[in-house]
Amino acid sequence: MIAQRHHLAVYARLPDERAAAGSGAPDYASAAEAGHKPGGDPSSASSKAADSEGSTQRQVRILVVEDDHHIGRLVERILVRQGFAVVRVTDVESAWEVLEQPEAIDLLFTDVVLPGASSGAELAATLRARRPDLPIILTTGYDQSRIADHPGLLESVAFLPKPFTAAQVRDLVRLELGRG
């Protein structure tokens, strides 16, 4: 079963043995498996993950910039379930406020099209110049032409087209963090 809303696909496993028997159905993670609980508080998910970590080891911090509340919350829950600390904002101005804080951000996950004067692509391009070692993942439901104003950007960041699955988010984040 596939449900699609706001450029995000949510895939569910078949509930019976057909999935295990090689029915050809893809083995995608569902929103529930990604930690999504309707009506849950996304900020409490990050806090719980941080509380469960030992105090001797710093948690990897990921900045998620996504203006769609549902997608942002789902991405946050996917990442928190993987043990990451997540800071989620909805626009570029708020992202810069987070990036200027003393706490380090280890990866940027941003939508390309965002409200306000700046885009996620502009944020990524500026941040790439300031912190060339920072892993950056750009995502959008539009084609890559929205990034064309930033030559070379796609060669220096990871790109995840919408709709995406929880497994795709998880795998790409781990891949990009491993490159550093």
Would you list the domain boundaries of the chain? 38-179
d(CA 43, CA 159): 26
Predicted structure pTM score:
0.70
Supply the pLDDT for residue 155.
82
Q: How far apart, in whole angstroms, are the C-alpha atoms of residue 131 and residue 26? A: 37
What whole-number distance in Å separates Cα of residue 82 and Cα of residue 34? 9
- Report DSSP letters for 81-105, one per residue: HTT-EEEEESSHHHHHHHHTSSS--
CA-based max dimension of the chain: 51
Mean pLDDT of 82-100: 97
Q: Which CATH superfamily is domain 38-179 in?
A: Response regulator (3.40.50.2300)
Reported confidence tier of residue 106, pLDDT bands at 50, 70, 90: very high
Q: What is the pLDDT of residues 127-167, one digit of tens each?
A: 999 999 999 999 998 876 666 666 677 788 999 999 999 99
What distance in Å separates the CA atoms of residue 65 and residue 148, rounded to the nearest whole number? 20
Residue 113: what residue type?
V
User: Is the pLDDT at 34 greater than 50, yes or no?
Assistant: no
